[in-house]
């Protein structure tokens, strides 16, 4: 019930209220028609299901990319801990600070409605600094092949970072989203003559209940699609957590 209530908002109440008002008006004016309900499936349900599924797939891909970033970051940290037979505590301290800044800036970028180019450039500079840490580790005794492998882990981080940025920037086509929004919110009103038809031929209570149910279902679907559209904005129970990964905590893995 908690998650069900979350998809009901003020917009749902407005659409339901207008649908009931128009249903009452149609009853009073005798504007009553038996409209084919198959139209809802063709014009509404199919496009919104497609949009929700596309948004869900994008969210799952974003989770995969974020996991790859975290896993590669941990692999780099373990390399700094174990691949050199020397005291690398100073290198680890610098690396942990870079990771703290990187995930903080990545979270700010993904949560922002309009991410700035400056913030993107700052994240790129974090990658540069991590690469420089590899070179410092080379001077401490890291072999050329092991340095190359560490840079491969960094490359994986960069590639998946770009993928997750693309998911943030490119979403469900705007034309499809606009189409879904207009018809999802307008259909309960357009169908008022049908609700009036049901009320006049069966029971007024049933006709108005049907108007409320249609308004609730369609606006809830619209809200679900909005929640899934941006899985980083922190709005909705299905958003991706962008907190600093516990697996990279300096206190979790020690020598």
- The reply to whether 104 falls in a domain is yes
What are the tens digits of pLDDT across the range 236-251? 677 788 888 888 887 7
Residue 254: the pLDDT is 62
- The reply to whether 221 falls in a domain is yes
What are the tens digits of pLDDT across the range 75-116? 999 888 888 887 778 888 899 999 999 999 999 999 888 888
What are the tens digits of pLDDT across the range 36-55? 777 666 777 778 888 888 88
What are the tens digits of pLDDT across the range 117-127? 999 999 999 99
- The reply to whether 220 falls in a domain is yes
- The reply to whether 98 falls in a domain is yes
- The reply to whether 197 falls in a domain is no
In SS3 terms, the chain reads as CHHHHHCCCHHHHHHHHHHHHHHHHHHHHCCCCCCCCHHHHHHHHHHHHHHHHHHHHHHHHHHHHHHHHHHHHHHHHHHHHHCCCCCCHHHHHHHHHHHHHHHHHHHHHHHCCCCCHHHHHHHHHHHHHHHHHHHHHHHCCCCHHHHHHHHHHHHHHHHHHHHHHHHHHCCCCHHHHHHHHHHHHHHHHHCHHHHHHHHHHCCHHHHHHHHHHHHHHHHHHHHHHHHHHCCCCCCCCCCCCCCCCHHHCCCCCCC
Q: Is the pLDDT of residue 255 over 70?
A: no
- The reply to whether 144 falls in a domain is yes
- The reply to whether 201 falls in a domain is no
Residue 253: the pLDDT is 64
Provide the domain count of the chain. Answer: 1
- The reply to whether 85 falls in a domain is yes
More confident residue, 114 or 157: 157
Q: Could you list the residue range(s) of the whole structural domain that residue 21 is in?
A: 1-173+187-192+211-255
Q: Is 59 exposed, middle or buried (0-12, 13-18, 19+ CB in 10 A)?
A: buried
Per the listing, tokens 């420089």 go with 132
């Amino acid at each position: 019930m908690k998650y069900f209530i979350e998809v009901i908002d003020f917009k749902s109440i407005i659409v339901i209220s207008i649908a009931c008002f128009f249903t009452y008006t149609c009853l009073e004016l005798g504007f009553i028609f038996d409209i084919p309900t198959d139209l809802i499936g063709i014009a509404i349900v199919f496009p919104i299901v497609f949009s929700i599924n596309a948004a869900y797939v994008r969210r799952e891909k974003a989770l995969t990319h974020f996991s790859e970033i975290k896993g590669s970051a941990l692999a780099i940290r373990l390399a700094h801990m174990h691949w050199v037979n020397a005291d690398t505590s100073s290198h680890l301290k610098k690396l942990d600070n870079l990771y703290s800044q990187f995930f903080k800036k990545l979270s700010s970028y993904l949560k922002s409605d309009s991410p700035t180019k400056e913030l993107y450039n700052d994240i790129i500079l974090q990658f540069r600094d991590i690469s420089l840490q590899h070179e410092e580790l080379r001077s401490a005794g890291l072999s050329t092949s092991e340095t190359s492998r560490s840079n491969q882990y960094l490359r994986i981080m960069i590639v998946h970072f770009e993928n997750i940025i693309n998911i943030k920037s490119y979403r469900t086509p705007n034309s499809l989203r606009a189409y879904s929004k207009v018809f999802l919110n307008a259909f309960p009103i357009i169908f008022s003559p049908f609700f009036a038809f049901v009320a006049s031929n069966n029971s007024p209570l049933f006709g108005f209940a049907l108007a409320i149910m249609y308004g609730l279902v369609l606006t809830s679907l619209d809200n679900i699609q909005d929640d899934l559209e941006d899985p980083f904005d922190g709005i909705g129970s299905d958003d991706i957590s962008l907190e600093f990964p516990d697996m990279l905590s300096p206190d979790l893995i020690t020598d």
